[in-house]
């Protein structure tokens, strides 16, 4: 992890498939506990970025993964089919 500082360490991803797999997105929904925050050395709070800690290292989060964690909608609550 040269070049970055660990700001907050989330839980290790405990599934066999990678967190970026479409099949695994459901495990990220509303589950901020897996999110690790990293900051480039010499960077500021605005430079921090989220990642998922796996057995092999860290996986940066795609927009799709971020939406699953922070923006997922409850279709039933919003009266949408689904």
pLDDT one-digit tens code per residue, 40-55: 999 999 999 999 999 9
The answer to whether 4 and 40 are in contact (CB under 8 A) is yes
Write out the two tokens for 28: 């990220």
Give the per-residue pLDDT at 13: 97
Give the per-residue pLDDT at 1: 75
6 vs 72, which has greater pLDDT?
Answer: 6
Write out the two tokens for 62: 């795609």
For residue 24, give Cα distances in angstroms to 21, 65, 76.
5, 9, 21
Give the residue from 59, 65, 52 showing the smallest Cα distance to 23: 65
- What is the enclosing helix (H) or strand (E) of 5? strand 4-8
So where are the chain's domains? 4-70
Task: Name the residue with tokens 């290292």.
Answer: 57
């Amino acid at each position: 992890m040269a070049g970055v500082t660990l700001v907050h360490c989330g839980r290790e991803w405990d599934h066999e498939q990678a967190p970026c797999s479409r099949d695994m997105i459901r495990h990220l929904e509303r589950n901020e506990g897996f999110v690790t925050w990293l900051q480039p050395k010499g960077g500021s709070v605005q430079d921090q970025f989220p990642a998922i800690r796996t057995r092999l290292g860290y996986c940066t989060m795609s927009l799709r993964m971020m939406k699953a964690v922070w923006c997922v909608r409850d279709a039933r609550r919003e009266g949408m089919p689904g």
